């Protein structure tokens, strides 16, 4: 246990100019020595992580060697395209707009998703909106099972716990979105001889908040070592517009607006940052509890949830496993 | 071992352990041993509801009911 009696948010403060210089130097090194690619493709959502990644990529290799890929679909929030354009224009990089709705339709995504929801809400139609949610682990001592929240066109909400088949079908269908986007990212990377930059922050990377071969796939992940609070610090230093820096984090994945902390994470990002830091550095639950205004028991549940997510999402990080090694291939 | 416990154990062994029951005792915690994850809990709940004709309520989704063969046996006994 560390000798830390008091914990405050400034423990995550970093030297932003120095961090940016280090990341940019490392990006140039990786591109030239390992990836052998001439630039970077960054998929932008208008959120803080992809905006910072785009700004870092631009600073590392120059605007002419970066493209911003915007890939909204029918369920994306209306403001997604506005914020994506804003950061791309701020960085003065080339933009490519690929609406993926028709691809998703051809894959049967919308039909498959709606059919899956109808397993638990038979009256659900394409005019409804929905999202999946999970109980807050801070207040919940039991198992956290997912529920679907659906809203009819009049605004009436229904919430139902998801049985296995419906849950798996909904997740499987929704994962089409991230995988289609990644396919397009690699199309543009291949035609330009660029590499693909992934956009996860440390919370997402550590806790497995990504789709395997979807947003989890990339050639380089420039901010995966940074706590989300630190990503915001870099955003301010890099000149990411305040409009983007002030937006609450969302998944922008389901048709009904969904905060990251009601779908996956147990606490808002700034509090979870502190918990993850404390857990990683052996800081006592009572000290964290004091800092966050929660009880030590609640912090312990957050710590346990961090361990659970690390264990259950480990396979997302794994490369394809070989039954017998091929020793000539070194990674 | 009761019939119910045998039924549950067979499900756990076949579904989560690919037929290898080594180390699975009546008091083994499925979570601590990494036998069942969050999706596994969903599978287990689906099995219990179908096999025993019960409805597992939200407030019953706790380790005290579901996290070992002994706990499951006692829970099913209370529910039936």
Write the secondary structure of A83-115 as one string of H (helix), E (strand) and C (coil): HHHHHHHHHCCEEEECCCHHHHHHCCHHHHHHH
- pLDDT above 80 (res A230): yes
- Measured between alpha carbons, how far is A129 from A256 in angstroms, rounded to an integer? 5
Read off the pLDDT band of A279 (50, 70, 90).
very high
| In-domain check, residue A43 | yes
- Give the count of domains, chain A: 1
Q: According to the model, what pLDDT value does residue B34 have? A: 83
Question: Which of A141, A145, A311 comes nearest B41 by C-beta?
Answer: A145
- pLDDT above 70 (res A226): yes
Residue-level pLDDT, tens digit, chain B, 80 residues: 779 999 999 999 999 999 999 889 999 999 888 888 888 999 999 999 999 999 999 889 988 999 999 999 999 999 98
Considering only CB atoms, which chain B residues are within 8 Å of A161?
58
Read off the pLDDT band of A143 (50, 70, 90).
confident
Query: A164, B46: Cβ pair inside 8 Å?
Result: yes
Cβ of residue B46 closer than 8 Å to a chain A Cβ:
yes
Mean pLDDT value across residues A291-306? 92
B75 min Cα distance to partner chain A (Å):
15
- For the ranges A35-44, A104-113, A262-271, B34-43, which has the lowest average pLDDT? A262-271
Domain residues for the domain of A32 are 9-106+169-316
| In-domain check, residue A148 | no
pTM across the whole model = 0.91
Read off the pLDDT band of A145 (50, 70, 90).
confident
Query: A144, B38: Cβ pair inside 8 Å?
Result: yes
CATH code for position A235: 3.40.50.620
Q: Which two tokens stand for residue A60?
A: 């590392």
- pLDDT above 60 (res A107): yes
- Measured between alpha carbons, how far is A266 from A140 in angstroms, rounded to an integer? 10
Question: Which of B34, B42, B63 comes nearest A145 by C-beta?
Answer: B42
In words, the CATH class of domain B3-18+34-79 is: mainly alpha
CB contact residues (below 8 A), chain A span 161-190, against chain B: 161-165, 167-168
Q: What is the maximum alpha-carbon separation in chain A?
A: 62
Question: Which of A141, A164, A312 comes nearest B43 by C-beta?
Answer: A164
B25 min Cα distance to partner chain A (Å):
22
User: Which sequence spans correspond to the domains of chain B?
Assistant: 3-18+34-79
- Measured between alpha carbons, how far is A160 from A141 in angstroms, rounded to an integer? 20
Nearest chain B residue to A164 by CA: give it.
Answer: B42
Best interface-test mutation with B: which of A132, A143, A162, A306 has the largest number of B CBs within 10 A? A143
pLDDT digits (tens, 9 = 90+) for A74-93: 988 888 999 999 999 999 99
Backbone angles phi, psi at A186, to 5 degrees: -75, -30
Portion of chain A with pLDDT greater than 90, in percent: 80
Best interface-test mutation with A: which of B47, B51, B59, B61 has the largest number of A CBs within 10 A? B61
Please name the helix (run of DSSP H) or strand (run of DSSP E) that holds residue B64, with its range, or none: helix B63-66
Considering only CB atoms, which chain B residues are within 8 Å of A141?
62
Q: Closest by alpha carbon to A180, among A251, A254, A99, A257?
A: A99
CA atoms within 13 A on the CB side of A298: 17
Question: Which of B34, B41, B46 comes nearest A143 by C-beta?
Answer: B41
Q: Closest by alpha carbon to A254, among A106, A132, A115, A122?
A: A132
Q: According to the model, what pLDDT value does residue A250 have? A: 76
| In-domain check, residue A218 | yes
- For the ranges A65-69, A139-143, A240-244, B62-66, which has the lowest average pLDDT? A139-143
Read off the pLDDT band of A261 (50, 70, 90).
low
- The answer to ipTM > 0.95 is no
- pLDDT above 70 (res A1): no
| In-domain check, residue A202 | yes
Considering only CB atoms, which chain A residues are within 8 Å of B63?
142-143
- pLDDT above 70 (res A22): yes
B37 min Cα distance to partner chain A (Å):
6
Question: A183 or A258: whose pLDDT is higher?
Answer: A183
| In-domain check, residue A327 | no
- Measured between alpha carbons, how far is A277 from A227 in angstroms, rounded to an integer? 8
| In-domain check, residue A217 | yes
DSSP B2-58: -HHHHHHHHHHHHHHSTT--TT--TT--TTTTTS--HHHHHHHHHHHHHHH-----G
| In-domain check, residue A137 | no
- Measured between alpha carbons, how far is B34 from B42 in angstroms, rounded to an integer? 15
CB contact residues (below 8 A), chain B span 58-77, against chain A: 58-59, 61-63, 66
Average per-residue pLDDT for chain A:
93
Considering only CB atoms, which chain A residues are within 8 Å of B57?
none
A313 min Cα distance to partner chain B (Å):
10
Mean pLDDT value across residues A270-297? 95
Considering only CB atoms, which chain A residues are within 8 Å of B59?
142
Query: A143, B39: Cβ pair inside 8 Å?
Result: no
Read off the pLDDT band of A330 (50, 70, 90).
confident
Question: Which of A143, A161, A163 comes nearest B38 by C-beta?
Answer: A143
| In-domain check, residue A233 | yes
């Amino acid at each position: 246990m560390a000798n830390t009696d008091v914990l405050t948010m400034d423990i995550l403060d970093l030297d932003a100019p120095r961090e940016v210089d280090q990341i940019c130097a490392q990006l140039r090194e990786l591109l030239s020595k390992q990836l052998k690619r001439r630039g970077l493709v960054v998929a932008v959502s208008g959120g803080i992580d992809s905006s910072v990644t785009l700004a870092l990529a631009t600073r590392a290799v120059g605007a002419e060697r970066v493209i911003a890929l915007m890939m909204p679909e029918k369920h994306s929030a209306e403001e997604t395209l506005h914020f994506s354009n804003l950061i791309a224009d701020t960085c003065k990089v080339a933009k490519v707009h690929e609406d993926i709705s028709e691809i998703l339709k051809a894959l049967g995504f919308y039909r498959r998703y709606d059919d899956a929801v109808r397993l638990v809400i038979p009256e659900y139609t394409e005019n409804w909106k929905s999202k999946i949610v999970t109980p807050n682990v801070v207040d919940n001592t039991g198992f956290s099972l997912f529920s679907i929240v659906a809203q009819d066109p009049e605004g009436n909400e229904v919430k139902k716990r998801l049985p296995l088949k419906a849950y798996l079908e909904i997740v499987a269908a929704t994962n089409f979105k991230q995988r289609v986007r990644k396919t397009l990212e690699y199309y543009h990377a291949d035609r330009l001889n660029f590499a693909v930059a992934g956009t996860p922050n440390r919370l997402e990377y550590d806790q497995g908040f990504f789709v395997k071969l979807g947003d989890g796939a990339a050639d380089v992940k420039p901010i995966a070592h940074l706590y989300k609070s630190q990503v915001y610090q870099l955003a301010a230093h890099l000149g990411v517009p305040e409009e983007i820096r002030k937006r609450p984090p969302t998944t922008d994945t389901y048709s009904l607006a969904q905060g990251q902390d009601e779908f996956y994470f147990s606490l808002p990002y700034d509090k979870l940052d502190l918990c993850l830091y404390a857990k990683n550095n052996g800081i006592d639950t009572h000290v964290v509890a004091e800092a966050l205004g929660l009880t030590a028991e609640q912090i312990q549940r957050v710590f346990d949830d961090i361990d659970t997510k690390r264990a259950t999402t480990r396979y997302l990080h794994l490369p394809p496993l070989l039954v017998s090694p091929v020793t000539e291939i070194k990674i | 071992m009761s019939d119910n416990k045998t039924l549950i154990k067979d499900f756990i062994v076949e579904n989560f352990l690919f037929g290898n029951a080594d180390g699975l005792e009546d008091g083994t915690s499925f979570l601590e041993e990494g036998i069942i994850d969050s999706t596994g809990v969903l599978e287990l709940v689906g099995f219990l509801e179908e096999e025993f004709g019960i409805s597992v309520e939200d407030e019953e989704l706790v380790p005290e009911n579901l996290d070992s063969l002994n706990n499951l046996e006692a829970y099913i006994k209370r529910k039936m």
